[in-house]
Structure 1
């Protein structure tokens, strides 16, 4: 489903009825967001992965990213204090 269709429809309805819509949408948005996060967790839980290898690769990627950023900063900055 295209995500932009409901987004544009909500935008149009909000703009057309902005004077008539007095209620708050904070609570329905919070409930919807929590349901979205819950169902994303359910979908993630259904996948069969080796969590230890994913963890190790994620940590390695994070360390290499940090090292690359520091190296680039030293290269650009010239090591000056």
Structure 2
């Protein structure tokens, strides 16, 4: 619920500014907000305790299966030309 209030306020402010035909440069505040978001996501991710070996192994298996599936679908689609 806490996410919807700023979202609705932002939509209303944007709608009001659109009606008044004001051009506001939002590039700098948006870039700063994104950098802060990425920074805090990194902090939160760093706090999570995981088993690095299991994660590496499952990531490799997932990557190999994804590549194999993509190649298989490409070979199947090549024959349908």
Q: What TM-score do you get using the length of structure 1 for normalisation?
A: 0.77
Query: Any gaps of 5 or more consecutive residues in structure 1?
Result: none
- Alpha-carbon distance change, 60 to 79 in structure 1, aligned in 2, over 3 angstroms: farther
* Residue 31 of structure 2 corresponds to residue 39 of structure 1: no
Distance 2:76 2:21 in 1: 58
Query: Any gaps of 5 or more consecutive residues in structure 2?
Result: none
Q: How many residues align?
A: 80
Q: What TM-score do you get using the length of structure 2 for normalisation?
A: 0.77
If asked which structure has higher relative contact order (CA below 8 Å, sep 6+), I would say: 1
Identify the residue that residue 15 of structure 2 maps to in structure 1.
15
After superposing the two structures, state which structure 1 stretch, 20-29 or 53-62, moved more. Answer: 20-29
- The list of structure 1 runs, each at least 4 consecutive aligned residues, that deviate by more than 3 angstroms after superposition, is 1-5, 20-23
C-alpha offsets along residues 12-49 of structure 1, whole Å, 9 cap, x if unaligned? 21111233644312111111111111110111100111
| RMSD across aligned positions (CA) | 2.3
Say which SS state the counterpart of residue 56 (structure 2) adopts: helix
